[in-house]
Amino acid sequence: MQTSIPCTMMRGGTSRGPYFLANDLPRDWETQKQVLLSAMGSCTGQQIDGIGGATSLTSKAAIISVSESPEADIDYLFAQVSIDDMSVDTAPSCGNILSGAAPFAIESGLVRAQLGETLVRVRNLNTNSFIHVLVQTPDGFVNYEGETQIDGVEGSAAPVMLNFLNVAGTKTGKLFPTGQLKDSILGTEVSCIDAAMPMVLIPATSLGIKGNESKQTLDNNESLLARIEAIRLIAGEKMGLGDVSHQVIPKVGLLSSPQQGGSITSRYFVPHNCHASHSATGAICVSVCSAIPGTVAEGLTPIELDNQVNSKGSDKAKQVVIEHPSGKITIALNMTLNQERSEIHQAGLVRTARRLFRGDLYVPSRIWTPLKLQAS
């Protein structure tokens, strides 16, 4: 016997995964976790017996519900489903998968579409933060076709504008959880920063690389990966996250000077291999780091950006262009910089999304049978 679960598969930004209504899933977390693992076909390494794509970018899920918060229309819970073991991590968020949440909510009847554009206020349950998402809805229906292109995705689509509010300390409660702009870990200078995503940012040259290497080159460098993980584990403790050996946060970013006219170059790790492009929330964290004097990013950005973001008391929007393995991602930062503290008001970026299919997903009934079916 099998249990059918309504499901919509979507591409969100440079990621892909199933989107569920919370009411269609088990209420208790342990059963819900087993359903997600079964749905993706995890623990085999290849996810042959599920809809996962055997990469960290395609083994993700979104769970959506109507929000009880007066500041939000919907609640969004992101789940990173492991490929080769039985773990599901809801500690991090994902801005790419988030870009599909608002269109999914509109098409599922949770939010009424407006003519032209529809604003969907999202509460991210992973980080208890809020994001305003603007979806194209001409004639009152979600439109996926358009001319917007994002690096890491072939073709073009309609834009989905994400505006992250108050991103500082979303997981740890502090922009700099260690209390320092820079820390020394295993003899390497790092910046431990929590802006949309807790990250450990490291100058690439301090690890003996240039920082513009390909994903394949970095993934094949076993000594580099071991060094990164050793630093990450210690950083996790320093940031108040505890033992992170079985968690995907903090993520790691290797920073270097731009080569293609951008503001900074980043290689983002997820966390044990390099992202094929870049996480959206990770890009916000990198951009914030590059905008604050005294971090490891200082000296890596062009003079023009330094002049733009380092003016004391400035609260203008700053465009930070991050170069990554598949191209570039641009973050619009609205923040105030002064001698006392840095305050991030809003961080915006454009993504695209597309519905791939909608139907029923099946899991073995031994994993979960809804009560209404048990009673019938």
Name the CATH superfamily, with its identifier, for domain 183-340. Diaminopimelate Epimerase; Chain A, domain 1 (3.10.310.10)
**3 state DSSP class of 29:** helix
Q: pLDDT at position 231, please? A: 99
What average pLDDT does the chain have? 93
CATH topology for 2-167+353-374? Diaminopimelate Epimerase; Chain A, domain 1 (3.10.310)
Q: 153 exposed, middle or buried (CB, 10 Å; 0-12, 13-18, 19+)? A: buried
Tell me how far CA of residue 222 lies from CA of 82, 219, 250, 272, 306, in angstroms: 21, 7, 20, 10, 35
Average pLDDT for residues 4-11, to the nearest whole number?
98
**Is pLDDT at 82 greater than 70 in this prediction?**
yes
**pLDDT above 90 (res 264):** yes
DSSP string, 221-273: -HHHHHHHHHHHHHHHHHTT----TTS--SEEEEEE--SSSSSEEEEEESSSS
Q: Domain extents for the chain?
A: 2-167+353-374, 183-340
The pTM for the full model equals 0.90
- The residue written with tokens 């001698």 in the block is 339
* Residue 350 in tokens: 């454009």
- How far apart, in Å, are the Cα atoms of 370 and each of 3, 7, 26? 8, 16, 7
Between 18-22, 44-48, 142-146, the lowest mean confidence (pLDDT) is in 44-48
**Which pLDDT score, from 0 to 100, does residue 376 have?**
46
Strand bridging mode 116-124 / 188-195: unpaired
Establish whether domains 2-167+353-374 and 183-340 are of one fold: yes
Distances (CA, A) of 303 to 211, 294, 307: 20, 15, 6
pLDDT per position as a tens digit, 87-128: 999 988 999 999 999 999 999 999 999 999 999 999 999 999
Contact at 8 Å (CB) between 361 and 18? yes
Distance of CA 227 to the CA centre of its chain: 23
Whether 336 has a pLDDT exceeding 90, the answer reads no
**265 Cβ partners below 8 Å, 6+ apart?**
204, 211, 212, 255, 256, 257, 258, 259, 300, 322, 323, 324
How far apart CA 41 and CA 289 sit, in angstroms, is: 37
45 pLDDT band (50/70/90 cuts)? confident
| pLDDT tens-place string over residues 294-328 | 999 999 998 655 555 544 445 556 899 999 999 99
Cis amide leading into 302 (omega within 30): no
β-pair partners for 159? 352
Q: What is the CA angle 355-359-362, rounded to 5? A: 125
What does the pLDDT read at residue 294? 94
Give dist(CA 266, CA 326) in Å, integer: 11
**pLDDT tens digit sequence for 204-253:** 999 999 999 999 999 999 999 999 999 999 999 999 999 999 899 999 99
The secondary element (H helix, E strand) that includes residue 35 is helix 29-40
Q: Which of 140-144, 261-265, 302-306 has the lowest mean pLDDT?
A: 302-306
Q: Answer whether residue 338 shows pLDDT above 80.
A: no
pLDDT for residue 269: 97
